[in-house]
Structure 1
Amino acid sequence: FRYFASKEDVVIHLLADVGTDMRTELASRPVGEPPSVALRHTVWVSVNACAGPGQQALRVTQLILESPALHARFLERQAQWGGELAEELAHRLGLDPRTDLYPQLAARIALSAFGAVLQRWSAGDGAEDPAALTDRVFAVIAPALDAVRGG
């Protein structure tokens, strides 16, 4: 524990690179790809990394989502990731992230999907396939992600 400011930081450290990895994954997607497809793939890769095989990933995810202090830190991280994703979306779409609402809104929608999938997967003790959950969530939000452009 001596390398971390708190016990919460030890667990949250496991999520330290998720935002950067999401941005890198989004940047690697084909330029003309619809935002919903690019974001679905980005979220799927991140969910897959967090919901890895074995019980350890499940238990850590459950601990983060069930502990108020850890969940608060997780949400703080998600807010940081939202900025990174919004910047990449703006770049991909030729929008200004400081004046256009779409990149920030789309990033937050994608991160809400990420959280919802992890919540459902962990609440079911890992019984549901995270990829299938991601696809189900994006089937609901894809029309909004692809319909809203600029503004």
Structure 2
Amino acid sequence: MENQKQYPMTQEGFEKLEQELEELKTVKRPEVVEKIKVARSFGDLSENSEYDAAKDEQGFIEQDIQRIEHMIRNALIIEDSGDNNVVQIGKTVTFIEIPDGEEEVYQIVGSAEADAFNGKISNESPIAKSLIGKHLDDEVRVPLPNGAEIKVKITNIQSQ
């Protein structure tokens, strides 16, 4: 058997995936089945846009279900070490940019639960890769997409 990609994630992220899967299976899937049934009742399927749209939606839902089931099967739950001196997946990290002092706060999570708009960055992102394994008060160089880099100082590490 080939090695499956593992998806590191927090317990919270794992539980959210389980909830999303449950909603897809118990709410979204039955809704789209009903839409297909109603669209079929309109008659000729060859020119039935409601039927086509419902079948497309069904395909997307089934893809999502398969994707989430795969991620759950291959989830690697990251346990909190309790050590708030080292950056790791699941930790919320506060750092300041040097020299301007701009403060930023991010929780480092697995790619499956990343949500930059809510301050959750993937462990695979350049900034997280630079921070993971570093310690409180460390100064770290972080590569930027344009090839430049910034220097940051870790000022706080917290468990969630």
Same fold at TM > 0.5: no
TM range (shorter): under 0.3
Q: Larger RCO: Structure 1 or Structure 2 (Cα < 8 Å, ≥ 6 residues apart)?
A: 1
Q: Which has the higher strand share?
A: 2
